[in-house]
Every structure is written in C-alpha cells, then in structure tokens.
Structure 1
Amino acid sequence: MTVETVVETTQYLTFTLDGELFAFDISQVREVLDFTTPTKVPQTPDYMRGVINLRGNVVPVIDLRRKFGMPQAVQTVHSCIIIVEVVLEGETVVIGAMADAVQEVLDLEPDQIEPPPRLGTKLDTSFIVGMGKNNDDFIIILDIDRVFAEDELGVMKEIGEGAQFRVGDGAVQAVSA
C-alpha cells in the first residue's frame, strides 16, 4: 500500500515505540494482547523475541524496537503484543509485534497523510506508507507487509512450520529433536 492508494478514510491502530507514534492499518490487526514473555528460539535474529501460544497456535513474536534500531524497552504494564496478519509469498502469516503501548484506533482522511520523507538513497523507507497528521502529532504509518524483508519473514514462517514445540498449559516449550 502506498500513500497514493489511500483514497478514502482508513482506520489505523496507533502505538508507541520509544516515545514515537506509529500505526498499522487496522484491517491487518487481529487483536492486541497483554505482554507475555515469549519462548526464545535458538539461532534467530536478535529482533525475533521468540514464540507465544495463541489459542494452541505457535505465533512468532518480533520486537519492533530492535528491528528499527531503537534501545530495548523495559516491560511495563502498558507493554503489549499486537497480533497482525502479514502476506508472505501469497500466504497469510500471523505474527506478534511488540509495542510499548497501544494508543487508539484513529480515522485518517487521505489529506491527513503525506508521502514518507526522502531520507537519502542509503536508507530504506519502503516500509513506511506515509506520515499521518493528527492535530500536532505525526504518525509513522507502517506497511506491515514490508516491515520485514522476504528472507526475514521466511525465518518466522519456518518457526511456525518446522520447529518442534509443545503447546500446552498456556505456554510454548521447545522440544529437542
């Protein structure tokens, strides 16, 4: 989705990371969970915090702060995991994205969204749909399908398919091969 494709009012779930306001298109958000400590999966990238049990399904959890090069957060009562659907190779993959806090669901008109700023050729901003404006606040609107490169999402998909886990009692446990 690009800012040019936003032609009607769209709802966004806003959330904070390191004091900055971000948003996902609400149509890709399944739910918001209270923070729970993920089970770490060996040999995964540092932004990959592990997996959680979501009603009997193993769901990979990523730390958006780490992905964006921000300092790691201290977990608070407001910390949460946003469960989103990401399209990978034509298939929908469910992942959890850690956030400092969820703010609100916000309606933004097309004239409230500007294209992402040009930051030079060395910085990849293709995962930013645009910059939303709400009162005096800027909101960085993310394209969740582009937040991760194909190879990074492949790691998360493999965790859901190939890893050996036991799901039960509200927890996920790694099972040795």
Structure 2
Amino acid sequence: MNEVKHEAGSPWLGFSLKGQRYAVSLTAVREVIRPGDITPVPGSPTDVLGIVNLRGQIVPVLDGRRRFGLDGGAGADDVDAQRVIVFDDAGTTVGLLIDVIGEMLQFDPADVAPPPPGRAARRDDPVSGVIARDDGFIALVDVPRLCRA
C-alpha cells in the first residue's frame, strides 16, 4: 500500500463534508474556487459531477460527498459556503466539491493514526490516516488516490 508522508510542519488545508472534517496537503492544492457552472457529463462515474472551464482548461469536478462514501450527493446546508478545491497531481488537474472550507492545519506526524478498520481495505479510498483533536477527528486525504482516473 502507498504510504503517505506526513511531514512535520507541512501545512494542510481543512474542509468539511456533511459535518465530517478532512484535510489535504497544501502542496497538492492549486487553488480554491467557487463552484460556478458545472457541466454534467453523461455516462461519467457517479462521483463525477461534471466539468468546469478554468481559464481555458477543462477540469473534472468530483462530488466530495460521494467520493468519500457519504450519504447523499452534492449539496450543502449553506450553498454559498461550497467551494471547489482544485488539485494538481502528476499533471492531472481535478476539482473536488466540498461543503465548507476550513482552516490551515499543522500537526506532528507522530500524531497520525491509521485509517479506521475497513477503510484501508478499499484500494481507492482516499483517506490515508486520521489525527485526533479535542473536538473530534480529522481524516487526512491522499491526493493521488483522490484524483484517480
């Protein structure tokens, strides 16, 4: 299994989906945009909402809720808070629709625990580990697995 490196002091960007908290390494984030007009693509996988034109580049946008196995499709309690995090991974650009953007995080790699049992068994599961905080857990996202074709 691919081991994700959680480097000491590296900044991570937090976000939420259905009240659950996640974080991605800031080094993989190209930009954060408002959803705008997402054009559906007939026949695409269920976790693909569609595509957006980002300054002349066609970018597929994933439904964060479906990609992480959460009930329900795209949609947040506060549609104005929704954002698309745009990732660059090995020459591939992919967007992820999220409910709410969070704060910048830093943590000690020694605080990272493995994903809950059952999650790691899924080859395409994008969660690489979790960190405990006083107010709950934050799931750490492996961007290459998230951006899989």
* TM value normalised by structure 2: 0.85
1:84 and 1:99 mapped to 2: Cα distance? Answer: 13
**Counterpart position of 1:12:** 12
CA distance in 2, matches of 1:23, 1:65: 14
Which amino acid counterpart does residue 8 of structure 2 have in structure 1?
E
Residues 41-80 of structure 1 show CA distances to partners (whole Å, capped at 9, x for unaligned) of 1211121111111111111111121123321243511011
Kept after mapping to 1: 8 A contact 2:48/2:62: yes
- Size of the alignment, in residue pairs? 145
Aligned partner of 1:169 in structure 2 is none
Say if 1:137 and 1:8 are closer, same or farther in 2 by CA, change over 3 A.
Answer: same
* Partner residue in 2 for 1:130: 129
Q: Please, which runs of 5 or more residues in structure 1 have no aligned partner?
A: 154-177
**1:68-116 CA-partner distances (Å, limit 9, x unpaired):** 33212435110110001123xxxx1011100001011111111322122
1:120 positional shift: 7.6
Give the residue type in structure 1 aligned to 2:84. I
| Alignment partner, residue 30 of structure 1 | 30
Give 1 or 2: higher helix fraction. Answer: 1
The alignment's TM-score, normalised by the length of structure 1, stands at: 0.73
| Structure 2 equivalent of residue 46 of structure 1 | 46
Q: Report if the CA contact (8 A) 1:112-1:134 is conserved.
A: no
What's the Cα RMSD here? 2.2
Distance 1:47 1:116 in 2: 21
The answer on whether the counterparts of 2:119 and 2:127 sit within 8 Å (CA) in structure 1 is no
